[in-house]
Amino acid sequence: MSSRLNWLRAGVLGANDGIVSTAGLVVGVAAATTASGPILTAGVAGLIAGAVSMALGEYVSVSTQRDTERALLEKERRELEESPDEELAELAAMYEHKGLSKATAKMVAQELTDHDAFAAHVDVELNIDPDDLTNPWQAAFASAISFSLGALLPLIAILLPPPSARIPVTFVAVLVALALTGTVSARLGGSGQSRAVLRIVVGGALAMIVTYGIGQLVGHVSGV
């Protein structure tokens, strides 16, 4: 359940990144020109580049985490083979530290060691499930998909309305979407919703305002 919530939270954050980055990009271009072609090109390029970047970053990050976990698991196997008595004493000490009496901790450690010493140690000492290591490919695809889905919203919002309504419609659509993702993220994280929504909405609004101003400046200077 915890792993599923982590994945869901990562998906929501990925979608949020897609919304904010693409919204800033297309609003900036729309501020410089009313032509649909450049806006579409910039939006699609931003969506693809962002999705690839998110996927690559997640793949590298999770691969590094997975390699570290595998190294720790192998180290634990080696220590159990080379010094089982010391490892048993270490396990008993961990249970004693958790609040068990010395005699009970020793008994629990011995029974768990007799059943599956490796599983007992990696659970208490490393907090790793060797049968449930994170898949970097799965993480990469999930990030790419969530970012792409988020990026589609501002791209559609900027292209469907007539030129005079593009930017206002996109502002409203993006801020509503950010409020929803902020609410979901806060609920998943168990934090206060109002503050989380306010942060994400204000951040998204600032991003669009800044890129809108830059787009207008560039459009004016270049004569677009």
Q: pLDDT tens across 101-150, in order? A: 888 888 888 888 888 888 888 887 777 777 777 788 888 888 899 999 99
What's the burial of 82, exposed, middle or buried (CB within 10 Å: 0-12/13-18/19+)?
exposed
CA distance 78 to 24: 52
CA distance 169 to 160: 9
Is the pLDDT higher at 9 or at 153? 153
Residue 177 lies in a domain: yes
Specify the pLDDT at position 216: 85
* Integer angstrom CA distances of residue 207 from 9, 14, 28, 199: 22, 17, 10, 12
Contact present, 48 and 25 (Cβ < 8 Å): no
| pLDDT confidence band for 223 (50 / 70 / 90) | low
Residue 202 lies in a domain: yes
CA distance 24 to 154: 9
CA distance 109 to 92: 5
Specify the pLDDT at position 105: 82
pTM: 0.78
Residue 89 lies in a domain: no
CA distance 96 to 139: 37
> What is the tally of structural domains in the chain?
1
Residue 162 lies in a domain: yes
Residue 180 lies in a domain: yes
For residue 87, pLDDT beyond 90: no
Closest CA to 154 of 10, 15, 1, 12: 15
What's the burial of 125, exposed, middle or buried (CB within 10 Å: 0-12/13-18/19+)?
middle
Mean pLDDT of 26-45: 92
Residue 64 lies in a domain: no
Residue 19 lies in a domain: yes
Q: Which domain holds residue 40?
A: 2-46+148-222
Residue 133 lies in a domain: no
